[in-house]
């Protein structure tokens, strides 16, 4: 059973969240919504972006849509700064992890992801000299793409939780979680700051998720255009000049600038969608739209998705929805209020396509969906429907395993109070193990 401290925190959390929902219901009745929207609440603690590889990861914020509040935070691990052969040679051998007292062998034995727990003051630090780092605070500016020297990393699009009405991509908890995923999976994480309800109801958050995926495709095409115009001729350590930073490439949607971190290090052909709670609903929607778009999204390819305790619901209650209706943190009554704030009165239904993944005629066919890892918690009232969705995927031969965690609650691996628990750490490592199967380059896959 969950600890006494967690139970007490759950009571406090429910009180605060219910009060917040009631205030939002009142404000939604008094004010008309704005298409610009909000992506964070004033009462939430946020973490400032930091481009200086703090704890091995540099971050930056980008407002990608001038007409809405949609923004992203990019998490770039320092492993991206080194050529592939150097990074691989400095990775921690898997065999040595068996004797590492800090590794979670009770969860993943000796086949965990590389570079986990590697000392930060190793010989790679000397290689930072000559890279494009500012001398004042070691902030990374980014450099022009060079196929010979730049290491290309997969991209993970991450969608935070918060019941549609709270949470943000730059919150302290989400920043910590994304840093963890970036290091464990050795990927670039792009955390999406989608618009919140009730200021922006359905389908705003879903459209924002798809817009970021399309923005990623456009960035990849602009990077290729940049190379063809001569940017790729410089060395990997050379710095963009002011004039080059101001260079714009005109495409069908207007003037756009190449994002240097993604241009230098991103590999959009290995893209993973990762959704937390209601963010899992967004991830699943974006995955379906990516399947429908097909080659129109080139060079972006969604190779897998991870749904962490998805916010699924339906008109016909499951066993867990009945038995655990008053569960910890996000109970059923509060979640129903959140859904009413997210869906319009005309569209409100527990069998809405955004809510129930198993309603009939919800395209595309499940057999076309990407491999899907589902994480569920024992004390989460939404767990059964998530498991049922995974079972439906497996019936049509989609790789769709379920990781169920005992004595766990909704958001046990992403909630601020629980982020540093052994269970949260083990969950992130388990996710990394599975994701590596689909993002590893041929010849470097994990062995199972």
Residues 6+ apart with CB under 8 A from 93: none
CB 437 within 8 A of CB 113: no
Q: Distance between the two ends of the chain, CA-based, in angstroms? A: 32
**Strand (E) or helix (H) holding 385:** helix 383-395
Q: Which is nearest to 63 in space by CA: 215, 187, 262?
A: 215
Active site residue 63: no
| Cα torsion angle, 178, 179, 185, 191, sign | positive
| Cα torsion angle, 318, 320, 324, 329, sign | negative
CA distance 374 to 392: 12
User: Buried b vs exposed e over 202-216: b needs ≥16 C-beta within 10 Å?
Assistant: bbbbbbbbbbbbbbb
CB 122 within 8 A of CB 157: no
Place of tokens 């993002």: 439
Tokens describing residue 129: 């000299």
Q: Which of 79, 171, 277, 390 is catalytic?
A: 277
CB 364 within 8 A of CB 48: no
Cis peptide leading into residue 203 (ω within 30°)? yes
Residues 6+ apart with CB under 8 A from 109: 98
DSSP secondary structure code for residue 240 in this structure: P
Q: Which of 87, 186, 410, 430 is catalytic?
A: 410
> Is residue 60 helix, strand or coil?
strand
Active site residue 379: no
Provide the residue count of the chain: 448
Torsion of CA 353, 354, 355, 356, to 10 degrees: 30
User: Buried b vs exposed e over 22-38: b needs ≥16 C-beta within 10 Å?
Assistant: eebeeebeeeeeeeebe
Q: Which of 78, 331, 380, 430 is catalytic?
A: 380
CA distance 16 to 190: 29
> Is residue 372 helix, strand or coil?
strand
Active site residue 123: no
CB 70 within 8 A of CB 211: yes
- What residues are labeled active site? 277, 380, 410
């Amino acid at each position: 059973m969950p600890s006494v401290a967690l139970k007490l925190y759950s009571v406090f959390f429910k009180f605060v969240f219910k009060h917040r929902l009631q205030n939002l219901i009142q404000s939604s009745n008094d004010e008309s919504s704005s298409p610009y929207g909000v992506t964070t609440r004033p009462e939430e603690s946020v973490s400032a972006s930091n481009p200086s590889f703090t704890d091995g990861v540099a971050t930056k914020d980008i407002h990608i849509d001038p007409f809405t509040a949609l923004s992203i935070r990019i998490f770039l691990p320092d492993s991206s700064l080194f050529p592939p052969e150097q990074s691989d040679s400095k990775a921690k051998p898997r065999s040595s992890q068996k004797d590492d007292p800090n590794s979670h062998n009770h969860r993943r034995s000796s086949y965990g992801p590389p570079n986990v727990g590697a000392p930060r003051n190793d010989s790679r630090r000397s290689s930072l000299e000559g890279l494009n780092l500012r001398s004042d605070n070691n902030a990374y500016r980014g450099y022009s793409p060079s196929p010979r020297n730049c290491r290309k990393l997969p991209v993970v699009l991450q969608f935070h939780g918060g019941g549609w009405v709270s949470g943000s991509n730059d919150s302290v908890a989400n920043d910590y979680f994304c840093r963890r995923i970036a290091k464990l999976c050795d990927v670039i994480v792009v955390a999406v700051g989608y618009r919140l309800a009730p200021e922006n109801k359905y389908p705003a958050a879903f459209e924002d998720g798809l817009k970021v995926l399309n923005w990623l495709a456009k960035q990849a095409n602009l990077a290729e255009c940049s190379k063809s115009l001569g940017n790729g001729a410089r060395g990997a350590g050379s710095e963009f000049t002011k004039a080059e930073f101001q260079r714009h490439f005109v495409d069908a949607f207007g003037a756009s600038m190449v994002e240097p971190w993604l241009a230098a290090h991103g590999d959009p052909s290995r893209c993973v969608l990762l959704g937390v709670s209601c963010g899992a609903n967004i991830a699943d929607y974006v995955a379906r739209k990516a399947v429908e778009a097909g080659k129109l999204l080139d060079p972006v390819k969604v190779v897998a998705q991870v749904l962490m305790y998805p916010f699924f619901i339906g008109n016909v209650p499951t066993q867990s929805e009945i038995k655990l209706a008053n569960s910890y943190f996000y109970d059923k009554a509060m979640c129903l209020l959140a859904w009413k704030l997210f869906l319009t009165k005309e569209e409100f239904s527990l069998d809405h396509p955004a809510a129930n993944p198993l309603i009939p005629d919800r395209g595309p066919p499940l057999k076309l969906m990407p491999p899907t890892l589902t994480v569920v918690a024992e004390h989460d009232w939404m767990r059964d429907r998530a498991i049922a969705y995974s079972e439906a995927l497996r019936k049509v031969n989609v790789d769709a395993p379920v990781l169920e965690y005992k004595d766990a609650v909704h958001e046990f691996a992403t909630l601020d109070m629980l982020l540093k628990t052994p269970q949260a750490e083990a969950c992130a490592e388990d996710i990394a193990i599975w994701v590596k199967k689909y993002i590893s380059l041929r010849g470097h896959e994990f062995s199972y």
